Structure 1
Amino acid sequence: MKRTITIIVVVIVVLAAIGYVLNNNKKKAQETTDFIAKGSGSVAVKAANVERKEIDLDFTVNGTFAPNQELNFSAENSGRVSKIYVEEGSRVSKGTILARIDAEILDTDRETAEATYQNAVRDLQRYESSFATGGVTQQQLDQARLNAQNAKLRLQQQQKKLNDANIRSSINGIVNKKMIEVGAVVAPGTQLFELVDVSKLKLKVNVNENQVANLKIGDAVQILSSVFPDEKFSGKVTFIAAKADETLNFPIEVEVTNNVKNSLRAGMYGTAVFKFPKQAPAILIPRTSFAGSVSSNEVYVLNKEKNIAELRKVISGRILGENVEILDGLKEGETVITSGQINLSEGTPVTVIK
């Protein structure tokens, strides 16, 4: 019982001590705030001169090259691979036969479909002759026409399957992977080849909101590669994301024309150099000059005669890295406060730390 009472007393004493310390700190903070508010002292701040500077919108970003076209060929029919005409690394053109699947069963199915179609055509001819003499009804004639049409469609389907026994490339490119061997039995959906086209590539990069605002589809871009530092490649913007990703950056795609030797390969790193026309000089101030955020459009200006801070409304423009363009509210030669704004109010005396 005594032990429990002792523990309770100790807890009460500790809580009382914590309350005293917090209350004392609160009083000191309030005294400091009141002291500044009454103008009895000056606040140490940093400041910067308002200047008109040239605006440089050029920037560079790094990314990775991806093939302009990449296709994985899959089998459409079941069968045994009878021939393979290409190897990994082979260059192929559109229409090139890559491999052949044994078409013996497909030939049989196609011949059966052909015989069925011919029978349906002969039946239709007989029904048409009989209908002219009143031997069959209109319904029987329509059914014969439907049978002939269905038989024709089945024949076309079997003919397509037979044609698909020859696996043909649908793009110009390089065989990057071969996933079958002669004698292998494949089923519909079995992966056969991976083809990539590197005559043109896509350089995928991410840009921030300030950079994306100056881009548009079709802009010319200079491309550099650390692997080939003496070669220059050209590209153009082909895609600009309408929505930022999780990092609040915007994915951009630049189409790049490879050289004659196709030196660039998918997966390599590249640098996109975005250049813009020369901009007219504008009034710029550090981004840290704003009281709160840039969207507040409020800055503290130093009154050099009275050494006090004066709150002023401005109209901000573009955010250019660490600087912000000012469209109205400031003039060249004035001084804005860049740090210490949290302790300022209208008319607070200040001391500029150089």
Structure 2
Amino acid sequence: MKRALITIIVIALALGGIVYLLNKNKAKVEQETAVVAQKNAAVAVRIDTARNQQMSLAYQANGTFMPKQEVTVAAETGGRVVRVLVDEGSRVSAGQTLAVVEGDKLNVNVANAQASYDNAQATLQRYESALATGGVTQQQVDQMRLQFENAKNNLKSAKLTAGDVTIKTSVSGIVNSRKIEPGAYVSAGTPAFDIVNVSTLKLRVNVDEKNVATLRLGQTVQVLASVYVDKTFSGKITFIAPKSDGSLNFPIEIEIANNPNNDLRAGMYGTAVFGGEGTTSALVVPRNAFVGSISDNKIFVLKNGKAIETKVTSGRSFGDQVEVTSGLAAGDQVIVSGQINLLDQSPVEVIK
């Protein structure tokens, strides 16, 4: 009995010690968590400074070169391809024959029409001769002349149809893709060749509302190609969209005459340089200081360790810098990274 009592006491003391240690550890963990939470209450951000700078009046917009003309030439008559006269990369001219489709059946039609024409012509001549001697009436001659005209028209139609056995291009350019081979059978409308004309190209770019007002149709624009760092090209504005997209950007189309070597190719990355060569003084901030799009005109400014949501008025864009015409002063520290985690008056910690 005494031994059992001692055992119970020992177990009770052990359990009490375990509970004590658990409570002590729990308090320590809660204390450490509170410290960490206090430290993490500040949102980590990066900042930059609004400053007055001399900015170039020229601004750039990027896009991709597109061919001015791009057509798919199709077969106009069904049949077996006899010859293909051009390869991919060949230069072709408008009206040039690209391939020949077997036309035996069509040639038979031409021969039949020719025989009918010859017969009608000979008969008409006999009738006209017989009219002078009274062998036929004028009405019979007129009817024969009508048959002759019909035969002549049928012969023209047969020859035109027979001419369709050649596949021709309606534009000049370069064969970008050949889709048929000799021996293949084609139907009317079967795509045969893709022809691309790169003697003139188009560059389509987007210009924001602050800069589109300075552009006009026919204006000369300097154009750069990313693959030719030592070459410049000249283009003219041929289209200015009357309506902006959802980001208040206006599509602009520029036409560029390629050089004699056709160095520019469709699909290359291009840059249009708008504006003059002068400079202007402007209060600017980095583009990534704006929360959302630039048109939202919202920036967080760092004041006394807190992020202050500030409404500004944006002006012109200068590449990675954007002009601010109101809402900021030179020297204001603006937050350029970490805004997604910020609310107005959020405490922040600046990191480098």
Instruction: Tell me whether the two structures share a fold, i.e. TM-score over 0.5.
Output: yes
TM-score, normalisation: structure 2: 0.58
Q: Deviations over 1:168-227 (max 9, x none)?
A: 333332211111111111111011111112222111212233333222222111111111
Identity %: 46
> Where do 1:107-256 residues align within 5 Å?
107-122=107-122, 135-137=137-139, 141=142, 147-245=147-245, 247-256=247-256
8 Å CA contact 1:127–1:136 kept in 2: the answer is no
Q: Which residue identity does 1:135 align to in structure 2?
A: T
The AA in structure 2 aligned to 1:189 is: G
* Greater fraction strand: 2
Answer with 1 or 2: which has the greater Rg.
Answer: 2
Q: The residue matched to 1:232 in structure 2 has which SS?
A: strand
How much has 1:101 moved relative to structure 2?
A: 0.9
Helix, strand or coil at the partner of 2:113: helix
C-alpha distance in 2 between matches for 1:146 and 1:198: 51
Deviation digits for residues 232-257 of structure 1 (CA, Å, limit 9, x no counterpart): 12211222233434554332221122
Q: How many equivalent residue pairs? A: 247
Question: How far, CA to CA, are the matches of 2:241 and 2:179 in structure 1?
Answer: 35
Task: Work out whether residues 64 and 204 of structure 2, in 8 Å CA contact, stay in contact via their aligned partners in 1.
Answer: yes
Q: Distance in 2 between matches of 1:129 and 1:244?
A: 78
1:285–1:246 CA distance, 2 compared to 1 (3 A): closer
**Shift of the alpha carbon at 1:272?**
0.7
Residue 204 of structure 1 aligns with an amino acid whose one-letter code is: R
Quote the Cα distance in structure 1 between the aligned partners of 2:182 and 2:278: 62
SS of structure 2 residue aligned to 1:108:
helix
Q: Quick check: 2:74–2:167 contact (8 Å CA) kept in 1?
A: no
Which residue type is aligned with residue 137 of structure 2?
Answer: G
Q: 1:241 to 1:116 in 2, by over 3 A?
A: farther
Residues 230 and 110 from structure 1, CA distance in 2 versus in 1: closer, same or farther, beyond 3 angstroms?
same
CA-CA distance at 1:121 after TM superposition? 4.3
> What is the DSSP-based 3-state SS (H/G/I as helix, E as strand, rest coil) of the residue aligned with 1:260?
coil
Q: Secondary structure at the match of 1:230?
A: strand
Aligned to 1:73: 73
What letter is aligned with 1:109?
N
Contact 2:67 2:196 in 1 (8 A): yes
Relative to structure 1, is the Cα distance of residues 103 and 208 closer, same or farther in structure 2, using a 3 angstrom cutoff? same
Distance in 2 (CA, whole Å) between partners of 1:324 and 1:66 is 35
TM superposition shift of 1:57: 5.1
Aligned to 1:69, the other structure's residue is in SS state strand
Q: Compared with structure 1, are the counterparts of its residues 181 and 320 closer, same or farther at alpha carbon in structure 2 (3 Å cutoff)?
A: same
Structure 2 counterpart SS, 1:229: strand
Q: CA deviation at 1:116?
A: 2.9
How far off its partner does 1:66 sit? 0.8
- The residue identity in structure 2 corresponding to 1:158 is A
Is the 1:131–1:137 Cα contact (8 Å) retained in structure 2?
A: no
Deviations, residues 78-125 of structure 1 (Å, cap 9, x unaligned): 111111122212222334332111121121111222233344445666
Distance change in 2, residues 1:145/1:267 (3 Å) = farther
CA distance in 2, matches of 1:240, 1:212: 8
Please report how far the alpha carbon of residue 270 of structure 1 lies from its aligned counterpart in structure 2 after TM superposition: 0.4
Q: How does 1:1-354 map to 2 (within 5 A)?
A: 58-122=58-122, 135-137=137-139, 141=142, 147-245=147-245, 247-276=247-276, 320-321=316-317
Q: Indicate conservation of the 8 Å contact 2:203/2:255, yes or no.
A: yes
Q: Distance in 1 between matches of 2:216 and 2:180?
A: 44
Amino acid at match of 1:272: A
* Alpha-carbon distance between aligned partners in 2 of 1:241 and 1:121, rounded to the nearest angstrom: 62
